[in-house]
Every structure is written in structure tokens, then in C-alpha cells.
Amino acid sequence: MNEQHSWVASANGHADFPLQNLPLGIFSPPGGRPRAGVAIGDSILDLEALLATGLLQGDAATAALACEGGRLNGFFALGRQPRLALRERLSVLLSEGNDSRAVVRDCLHLASECEMALPASIGDYTDFYVGIEHAKNVGKLFRPDNPLLPNYKYVPIGYHGRASTVRPSGTPVRRPKGQTPPKEQGGGPGFGPCARLDFELELGIWIGRGNAMGESIPLDRAEEHVAGYCLLNDWSARDIQAWEYQPLGPFLSKSFITSLSPWVVTAEALEPFRCAQAPRPEGDPQPLPYLWNAADQAEGALDIQLEVLLQTAHMREQGLAAERISLSNTRSMYWTVAQLVAHHSVNGCQLQPGDLFGSGTLSGAAPGQFGSLLEITEGGKQPLLLASGESRRFLEDGDEVILRARCVAPGQVSIGFGECRGRIVAAS
Amino acid sequence: MNEQHSWVASANGHADFPLQNLPLGIFSPPGGRPRAGVAIGDSILDLEALLATGLLQGDAATAALACEGGRLNGFFALGRQPRLALRERLSVLLSEGNDSRAVVRDCLHLASECEMALPASIGDYTDFYVGIEHAKNVGKLFRPDNPLLPNYKYVPIGYHGRASTVRPSGTPVRRPKGQTPPKEQGGGPGFGPCARLDFELELGIWIGRGNAMGESIPLDRAEEHVAGYCLLNDWSARDIQAWEYQPLGPFLSKSFITSLSPWVVTAEALEPFRCAQAPRPEGDPQPLPYLWNAADQAEGALDIQLEVLLQTAHMREQGLAAERISLSNTRSMYWTVAQLVAHHSVNGCQLQPGDLFGSGTLSGAAPGQFGSLLEITEGGKQPLLLASGESRRFLEDGDEVILRARCVAPGQVSIGFGECRGRIVAAS
């Protein structure tokens, strides 16, 4: 076990950012322009400033240099080796007793005083649907006897999302307007502010190295194309979605905003939290060969605890803390991240550094583990009762949704992702 | 009528690029880097070189300067006024008898010696489905009695496409591989090269000025956000599509490549070819207020003749010209381009300069006017017989599909779009 402590005191025992995490992001210090940094405890290490000290050499310096320009796309494009070199060097520099700590300390900013931006310019954003319990829960609302469609256990279902409205945690979520379903069969739609506004708890995946158009990425090379992970809230307007989505899928019901936690937790930091893919239930089909190999089954899944908290305007006014309304896990993914990459590129589709995947909503099978209000309230039929005495069928103006993630494994220092927050503001 | 001739002799009577068109694009002259140019007859006017001559001033110079950097995004962002100023100045400089023609002539390249690139970096690509005859033809294959879904006449149906694989005319189209529908009910899918490869004839729309996230673009301002138009081939793998598309829409069946004609025909060049929106058939609903105003109905539609040609490998070997297999028109759009812009942003979705819309397949109601083989061959059941003695149900390796467009109106010089070509190469 790597129990190494840091001379950055706040890092030791930090819920999200101990020395063992070292996620990258883009931050602006007070009055400064956006730049790349690494989260360590309650501080952010400025990579440009660190590079200027001369304490980075070789691949680590190459990696830090590629982080310049206020976005991490160039860093993502480098692939694993330089990323790992930077990680190892930062780990040494930030470790307890390191001789250069006086110099490195001058490169730190207090995170609470900085503003976070998106870590990269997103070329394309793809949202998958691989949380099988969510697919079952939603399918049951429409087809109680046969919730999963015939393709579900063969195809990692996904669709293209809107890249232009992906925003970092903290960006207000304006309630969208749109067409809503007719009140009566055969009638015309309504129009107005969404009345069934929802969140969706997802894992975000940052693509690293890309592929040329026309070339597929084989499953056993797929991990080399993943740079890191974040939390993703796929805000959803259920009424708009129900009316618009046939036959080509969700569109305006999702494209008003998608929120991300701003730190890129690297594939290397998550290594200790990899696990075997859950065995497919008896009767489930064997995946096609391009989606299956033994190594991916043995260690291609991730064990990340996920939680959703809700704080209403009333709770804030009363000084009440946010209430946890869901506790889930990435183990509910029916396909591994490597399988998503292999599937996405099997037709020759080009992936590029800074492309973003969403996993799809990650719900568990039981109440208390659902990743959307659609599931928690059974489509709005069963209100969610809150400790504050309030209840919710869908989100109201002033509600704030907070996503968190935590990685725990025996003999390992736990790490987290930081928060993905968004507060609902009234329609304009 | 503006019958003005140009001193560029090839422009006079040119099918696509007379003086009245002046579309913009990004080209590379032999051995040179990509740069912005304007098509005039069989030549391309180098805008950077022209700017350097000092012949552009004021808004026209501002517009030309914004074209620098090998992409037109900055130019698109400027909006209509500078674009119009540049157009008017170029029209003067290229007109017969202009005193500066010796200087301008030095800025010309022969188009046949240049390579075309995409005109802009595409942030997001949205594909609509507003060709109502196509929607009916495709719907009939699944629901003979009720081809259009209940939302069709209320919602300009659209979905997000893949931006990373949009390519300029001439880029080879590699046959994609993927999962194909089970041979028997309840069976597992097949896997291999697509066996039902198709084209889709569409109008492409380039977004100019964008909007802030959270702000809607009202219908009466929507035209200000459109920079220009092109042809778009939404290549489609019908077997992959049939298996994957439920419930979230087409994905890998479309994302392997999308081809564009490389010239941006400006909104100003198309002004003479605007027309009234076809009256809605008796019984069709009135659009919701955000999608309706009298001016848009009166002159918001476009009258552009569209054609599809096919040349097989055998035809090339025999020296046979490409055969026209469809003749259609943009008047089959159920919604105007302004309505698409207003709808896309009604939820606050941010549009950005260089975003691309596809209209959806534009078919007429009658045989000979269909914009895809799916329709021409009734889903592969009725082979298309070619004059070469060959037949096609879907596209074969070596087939080349060519899209063309032509604008004709009484008393107007006709203009065209240039070609959108793509030749199928075997799966890898």
C-alpha cells in the first residue's frame, strides 16, 4: 500500500485529493488567466509555475508543457507514458520530506480562491446508456413485462450529445422551455418551462489519444485511449423528452446543459480501484468477439461509490445540510469503458483527445440507489420525502443537486472526484 | 436582374460559380497552406493575397481578415453586415471592366489545381429530419397506415450527429463494420461489413453568429444566425441502423463519415431563390407561436434543385458518365431554416459559429425524386436498374455518389453549389 504522506498537510486524509490522486484541471487564480493545475488537499499546484522552476525534466516536463494554453487537449493527446511520468514526479515533489518543498510551495494556490473551468475543449460528446439497472427501471415504466429492448445486451447503446453546453460544476442550470406532451390523445403539445426537470448521475470519461478515421480501436488497446474520469450530470427535461424523442432520440430535452466535475481523475489514480466485470447473469449472451477479452473481464470494471445529494432553497435558508438521496456504484455498468471505446470506433469513427463520454445513468437495483428522480419517484407518481419536511417529484427552482464519488479498496488510501454541483434557476 | 459579367471569362455562364454566387471556402494551392478563397468560374480568388493588395477597406477588409487562419469560423461569427460588404466589394472587383483587374488576377488560382478543405471547424453537427416526403416514405416501410409519428408536424425533429467525421467532398468513404440485425427473431446479431450502405441527400446549413447559453433565438432574428449553405451526404449503414437505433437514435450507422460540398454559398447569394413556404395541407396543425411568423412563411423557404448521380466502377471503366438517379428540391422541407434555428435554441442551447445543421433527407413525393436508396429500392426490395445494365439495391464498393444543387429563378442568373462526391472503398 502506498500510504505516503504529503508535506501539504491538508492532503493527508483529504476525502478527495490526497497525494494518491493528483487529478488535473484548468483553474484561474484570483485575477489570473486559466491555466493547468493539480489538486492536492485544499490547494492547487500551478503546473506552469512548476515547469518554470526547472523541477520537471524529460517526459514529466513534456507532459506539463502540453498542459499549457488553458486546456488539457494536448496533454490528453500524449497518451499514458508522459502522463505517468508527470504523476510520478509530482508524487515525489509533494511527498513528505522532499527537499524542494519550499520552491514547490510557491506554486500552490488555495483552491477555495480559484475558479475552475472545463479541463478541455470538447470535440464530441457521446452519452451511453450502459447502466443496466437504470435501463431496466426506465424500461419498466413503458414495458413492464419486457423492460430491455432486444439489442441491449449486445450493443453498448449510446448517442451523440451536445458539446457546446457542457459546463463545469457550479454553473447555474436554467430551466429550459419547450414543447410538452399533449394533454389528450391526438391533441397538440403544450409549450412552456419544463415541469419535470431531472438529474442523471453518470461517470464521465475523457478520451486521450485519438484514432484515424476509418481505423477501429481494438479492445485490448482501448485503455490506451482513455485519459481520465469525472462526474457528469446529464440534466434532463422529462416532459420535453417524452414528446420529442421518437424516432431519433433525445435532443432539446438534454442539450440545455450538461455539468461536469472539473478535475480529471487519471486512469493511473484509479488503477487500485479496478475490478472484475460482474459475471453476466445466466442466460445473457456472450459479447461479440470485438467486445470481449479475458483481461477486460478480469479487471476492466471500476468500483467507484457514487452519491447524489439534494439541497433545496428552504434547506439553505434553514442552515440544513444537503440530504443524500442516492448511493450507487459504477459496478452497475453492463459494459466496461474499454468496451465503449472499442464499440464507438468499430465503424471507423474518429475519436479525438478531449472527446467526452458519459456512461449513462448509474443506478443500483434497489431503492436508495437510483440515479434519477424519474426512477426515485416512479415517473413522478411517488414523491420523494425529504428530512426537511419537503417533498419532490421533480426538481424545483432553487434546488441544488450535488454529485460525489469515492473510491475505497482494502489497503488503499481512498480518493474522491470532487463535486459536480448545479442549482436550478427559473426559466427566462 | 443582375446580369453583370465578370472579366474572369469562365465565370460567365458557369453552372455553379458566376459572379452572382461568390461562395467562400478553404483551399490549398499547389504546395501552399490552407487559406480562404472565393470561387469565381473555374478559378479561386485568394482572400489573403487580395487583402495584401490594399483593395479591400472597411467592413470588407474586416471580413477578409476574419477569414484568416485556414478556417471561416471567425468570418461566420461576424454576422451579415461585414459578409455583405465583402460580397459587394468582390462583385465590383470581379466585374467586367474593373480597373484593378490586373492586380486581382494575380490573386487567382485555377480551382482544378487546388485542394479543398472543410470551410470551418465544426463545433456541433445537428441533423434534422424535416424532409416530410422522406419521413413519410421511411415511415411507410414500418407503419404503412400511419407513416408520420404524432410529433412530426409540431416538432422540427432533429438529433445530434458526429462532428469529428465530417469531411469535404472527395474523401473516400470506407464501408463501416458493425453489428447487423439477427437473422431470426430472438437470435443474436451478425457482425461484419455493412451490407446495406446508403446515401442521403441533404442541405447543409452553416451557423454564423451564435447565442449565449440560456438565451433563445427568436424566429424573427433567426436568419441573422445563418452564414450559408452547402450539400451534405449523410451516409447511412441501414443494417447497422436498424439494429442499434432503439431507443436513443442512430449512432454508429451514421458516424463513420458525413460528406460536404466545400463551398459556403452565402445567405445573400441565395436571396433571389427564396420563396414562400408551401401551404400546410388541410388539417395540418398551426405551428406553435415560437415557430411561426408571417414573414417566414412568405419568404423563408428555399427553391433549390437537388440531384443525385451515381457512377459505378464499371461505368468509369467503360467511360460512361454518371447517371442521375434522383431530382429533388429543398421545397420539400416541412420547416424553414429559420424555424430550425429557433427550435434548436428554444431551450437555451448554445449555437456557435461553425456549427453545422443537416436538413434531413430531401425527397420529393414521386419516384425519381427520392433522396436515398432506401426509398428508391423500397428498402432493397426493388433494384434500381441503371443504363449501364447494372442494378443496385444498396451501394457497392467502387460506386461514387455525386450530389449537385442548382438555383434557377425567372430573371435571375442561375447559380450552383459545386459537387459533393464520395466513392465507396472496401471495409478494412
The mean pLDDT value of chain B amounts to: 97
Q: What CATH superfamily classification does B125-425 receive? A: Fumarylacetoacetase-like, C-terminal domain (3.90.850.10)
User: pLDDT tens digit string along B159-190?
Assistant: 999 999 999 999 999 999 999 999 998 889 99
Residues of A within 8 A of B289 (CB-CB) are: 191
Q: Is A154 annotated as a binding residue?
A: no
For chain B, percent of residues with pLDDT exceeding 70: 100
pLDDT tens per residue across span B299-314: 999 999 999 999 999 9
Q: Is A255 left (phi over 0), alpha (psi -120 to 50) or beta?
A: alpha
Taken as a whole, chain A contains a residue count of 428
* Contact residues on chain A for B238, CB-CB shorter than 8 A: none
Report the C-alpha gap between B155 and B153 in whole angstroms: 6
A347:B178 CB<8 A: yes
Distance (Å) of CA A1 to CA A9, A20, B283: 20, 11, 72
Nearest to A124 among B163, B189, B343 (CB): B163
> Does residue B99 register a pLDDT over 60?
yes
Which pairing describes strands A43-46 and A108-110: parallel, antiparallel, or unpaired? antiparallel
CA atoms within 13 A on the CB side of A99: 1
User: What does the block give as the cell for A185?
Assistant: 390523445
Tally of CB atoms within 10 A around A345? 26
Which site among B347, B349, B356, B423 would you substitute to test the A interface, given the most A Cβ atoms closer than 10 Å to its Cβ? B347
Q: Cα A229 to the chain's mean position, in Å?
A: 6
Name the residue among A165, A189, A247 with its Cβ closest to that of B154: A189
pLDDT (tens digit per residue) in B337-388: 999 999 999 999 999 999 999 999 999 999 999 999 999 999 999 999 999 9
Classify residue A78 by its DSSP letter.
Answer: H
Enumerate the CATH 3.90.850.10 domain ranges in chain A, comma separated.
125-425
Distance CA B341, CA B296 (A): 12
Mean pLDDT of B305-325: 98
| Cα B191 to Cα A72: distance, rounded to the nearest angstrom | 36
**What are the chain A neighbours of B290 within 8 Å (beta carbons)?**
191
Q: Which residues of A are catalytic?
A: 134
Nearest to B361 by CA among B384, B342, B334: B334
Chain A residue closest in CA terms to B355: A164
Strands A356-358 and A125-128: parallel
Nearest beta carbon to residue A155 from set B179, B257, B428: B179
Low-confidence ranges of chain A (pLDDT < 70): 1-2
ipTM reported for the complex, 2 dp:
0.96
- Whether residue B177 and residue A347 make contact (CB cut-off 8 A), yes or no, is yes
The CA R_g of chain A, rounded to the nearest whole Å, is 22
Is there a contact between A352 and A123 (Cβ–Cβ < 8 Å)? yes
Distance in angstroms (rounded) separating the CA atoms of residues A406 and A400: 20
Residue B212: its chain A contacts at CB < 8 A?
none
CB A155 to CB B244 under 8 A? Answer: yes
Do B83 and B75 contact (CB within 8 A), yes or no? Answer: yes
Confidence at residue A1, expressed as pLDDT on a 0 to 100 scale: 57
How many CB atoms are located within 10 Å of the residue B391 CB? 11
Cell readout for A28 is 484561474
- Report CB contact under 8 Å: B178, A346: yes
Q: Which residue of B has its CA nearest to A122?
A: B123
Report the gap between the CA of A148 and the closest CA in chain B (Å): 10
**CATH code given to domain A9-117:** 2.30.30.230
pLDDT reported for residue B18: 98
Mean pLDDT of B211-230: 98
Name which of A352, A249, A142, A191 is nearest B251 in CA terms: A249
DSSP codes, A222-282: GGGGEEEEEEEE--EEHHHHHHH-TTT---TTTTT-EEE-S-BEEHHHHGGGEEPPPPPPT
- CB contact under 8 Å between B288 and A162, yes or no, is no
Residues 6+ away with beta carbon under 8 Å from B303:
B273, B274, B275, B329, B330, B331, B407, B408, B409
Element holding B201 (H helix, E strand): strand B201-207
Phi, psi dihedral angles at A220 (to 5 degrees) = -75, -5
CA nearest A43: which of A9, A4, A5? A9
A257 to chain B: closest CA residue: B349
Mutate to test the interface with B, among A73, A118, A121, A124 (most CBs of B within 10 A): A124
A123 CA: distance to closest CA in chain B (Å)? 7
Q: For residue B134, indicate whether it is catalytic.
A: yes
- Please identify which of the residues B134, B225, B343, B344 carries the catalytic annotation: B134
Tell me the torsion sign for CA atoms B173, B178, B182, B186: negative
Of B182, B256, B288, which is closest to A179 when you measure between CB atoms? B288
Determine the residue of chain A that is closest to B125 in CA distance. A162
Q: Could you tell me where in chain B the CATH 2.30.30.230 domains are found?
A: 9-117
Q: Which of B178, B288, B346 sits opposite A252 (nearest CB)?
A: B346
Cell of A302: 471500476
pLDDT tens digits, residue range A44-97?
999 999 999 999 999 999 999 999 999 999 999 999 999 999 999 999 999 999
Please give the pLDDT value at position B1: 58
Please give, rounded to a whole number of angstroms, the shortest distance from the CA of B249 to a CA of chain A: 4
Bridge-based pairing of strands B265-266 and B226-233 is antiparallel
